[in-house]
Chain A
Amino acid sequence: MTGVLAWLAPFRTRRETVSAEERIASATQLRLTWWRFRKHRVAVWSGIVVAVFYAAALFADTIAYSDPQATDSRRSYIPPQAIHLWDSDGSLRPWVHGLKGKRDLKTFKIVYTVDPESKLYLRLFADGYPYKLFGLVPTTTHLIGVTGGNPEDGLYLLGTDLLGRDLWSRLAVATRVSLSIGLAGVAISLFLGVLLGGISGLYGGVVDTLIQRLIEIIRSIPTIPLWMGLAAALPNTWSTAQIYFAITVIISFIGWTDLARVVRGRFLALRSEDFVTAAELAGASRLRIIFRHMLPSFLSHIIAAASLALPAMIISETSLSFLGLGLRPPAISWGVLLQDAQNIQTLGIAPWLLIAAIPVIVIILAFNFLGDGLRDAADPYG
């Protein structure tokens, strides 16, 4: 019981050994932050989850086993398959039941049922559809496949959608799109936030007031209607890449305000710090003070703020795409996948479409824990 409690308490710190004092005295700000961060177990685990997700995004095509765009109307709404780990002779040899299509005599629809006769044996690093790893290396190797066969013939780990596309493979590719759009959005927000927040904190006075009022104005506007309005105006003729870029810009248009606040706050706090005064008295130039003295001391704050801003970006993209105003098919993102699950009739027939919600929730949770841990580590007193 106490073990569980201790594990849940990310904010308590372990005792520092006295012999470490010297080490601490000579460490940089970033290194200190890292040491403090390591003590937050939940945050560290969340960091690992985030890393796994991004690795999955990087190898999305390898993790997929079917072409995420390949439609097959005969295989629409196939439910997820159960994986059997042990073969009948007791050896570890994962397999799934194959499917058998039968025409329903009343509706004349093809109904897929589990074929108890057939067994499809799974294997790692099997052959599948051709793709380019990292967009460069052409290959046909996928993480999972079927021994001696084409995975597209019977492997539907998470089921299929209306058009018969494999959900597992689509989810893998969607992860890449949603996570990268989050990163790109945060990058743009970060640029705007650091720029405007820095100007605000550095110059103060009228400029500061103007930027602060601008932030207040942006924050008092309901964001989703605004995004919807802007996103809906994107021309239908735009390519997927153009839309992707435009959506990123639209969501970061709002996201930068939080970061700007953090940066400004740190700037103001640091401006009165002794070491900045000391640097000024020593005749260091303003730029040198900012980049050599001030930036390193709040880099960790920026990293923390960015990781807290990421989930908001991901939710934004997911929301917009869910509404049909964000990324549009053939692009695949978590929001696009969830759009299929929008109405209750569909959900009644194919509840597994909601599986796309799981990675969304997991990654947001992980980013929140990670960001919290980073923030506590960056500023244990703040």
Chain B
Amino acid sequence: MIRIDVALTTLERDALTELVNIGVSRAAVALRKMVGEYVLLSVPAVEIIDHTQAASLIGVRESAELVAVRQDFSGAFAGRALLIFPQSNSLELIRAVVGEELTPTEAADMENEALAETGNIILNGCLGTMANMLRRSLTLSLPEVLRGDGSTLFRETDPALAEGQVLFLYINFFVRRRNLRGYIAMLMDIPSLDALKRLIQEFIDSVMNDEPDLGADDASG
């Protein structure tokens, strides 16, 4: 097996964590608007691990069935973004987003569609903000709803990729008054990680050398 050195320097890891933090903060603002309650976020974790470890990282925290909205992104860098929460939270999330007046049957009927739409807004908010800060554009695939445990959600079907390491980013969110919790996770494989590393380096250089005009074209925050 070929191991490519993809280690991030301390400053690159710092910059990536800050980008994710800003992206996820914007996504939390979007989720706050949708559920009408305060959304708490953890500090993001950034790790370079293999697929199996990525699956077990979520698996050790969540033993129950999970539901996830998955979107692949491509462009300047590529990967997979997931909004994950326990299956038992799914209907409550939909009632929080769509309205209390829904009967459980109605909520169940529109479950997948509402999950996909919610995931789409949150993942777009996060990835769009990151792309804007890196001054690049990303294309997102249509959202797909998946169900299963941690290993199902992170299973890599391509054996060539399954052996390799991935950049795994995740953050927890909680909506206390609704008793909702979940994760936003991102996975990137090695070739894409190289591309991302170059963009992060450009981003750091722009911070170090240029006028402080970071993200000036993205002043909505």
The finding on whether chains A and B are genuine partners in a shared complex, rather than unrelated, reads no
